Amino acid sequence: MPAPPSSPRIEAFLEMMAAERGAARNTLAAYAADLADFAGFCARRGLGLEAAATDDLRAYLQGLHASGLSPRTAARRLSALRQFHLFLLREGLRADDPTEGLDRPKPGRRLPKVLTEREVAALLEAAGRLPGEEGLRASALLELLYATGLRVSELVTLPRGAIRPGAAAILVRGKGAKERLVPLGGAARAAVEAWLAHLATRRATGPAARWLFPSRSRAGHLTRQGFALLLKEVALAAGLDPDRVSPHVLRHAFATHLLARGADLRSLQAMLGHADIATTEIYTHLDGGRAARAVADHHPLAQRRGRVRGSG
């Protein structure tokens, strides 16, 4: 159990959450800390914990925002307050729920981490320097991921027949069993063909025989965790901070670098397998310089000003 809370009401609430909801220890600890903080706020205003009105709660949340607390943490605090006041209402300790009139704080939109083209090139080169089979597999994995932007789960579960010699695209089965065609560049195709040639010398049997990247795992293919560990090793070999490198970061690099070189959002949406283009649009926030160049090069007003200056 978490440390003793500052109020019998909070203690009763936590006991209910543990007994009736089966809340985990970490969840109970978070609720205890959040509600203790709110109890302190009420005490400073001369209020009993059960007497806080909607305006008091709103002032508390505004104070959290002013102190620099992240929207995500503020939203968690509000969730704790909602649960607690609903408990008070059901127990007959309050006649109303003061959280009903509160708006949920909007979580900030997280921008994905980005690697530069030079950093990705260093990763690919480091993968190729690994010896023997490990190097062939690492090169195939990284070249394929950076060339296609596949989700890591899609990458490690590619069947051995997914890429045919000379093929210009790869058929991927993504979320919801939806299939999509993703173009395949020459470097990635060459790396995968070299890996396939090596696989042909191994006589794999059982479940592993059907996968492009077989392993001794229960499923027979490389696991997501196994690939993530391999990627960390390659990052170290490339002289990069391994904490900055993950399969998802390489997917982001694929998208960001394509946009920076002029790809359109609809094509990128199709390649990434996003159901909603709003998900793809997050990558437009990553290259402010490109946006500024686009305005300077293509906006009618910018072009008109250029002609006016030139005519003088």
Give the catalytic positions in this structure. 151, 175, 248, 251, 274, 283
SS3 182: strand
Separation CA 248–CA 251 (nearest Å): 5
Cα radius of gyration rounded to whole Å, the chain: 27
Q: Is the dihedral of CA 274, 278, 282, 288 positive or negative?
A: positive
Mutual angle of helices 247-260 and 265-272, in 10-degree steps: 160
- Rounded Cα gap, residues 103 and 95, in angstroms: 21
CA–CA dist 137, 154 (Å, integer): 16
Cβ pair 95, 226 in contact under 8 A: no
What is the distance between the alpha carbons of residues 238 and 212, in angstroms, rounded to a whole number?
A: 25
Q: Confirm if 120 and 260 have CB atoms less than 8 A apart.
A: no
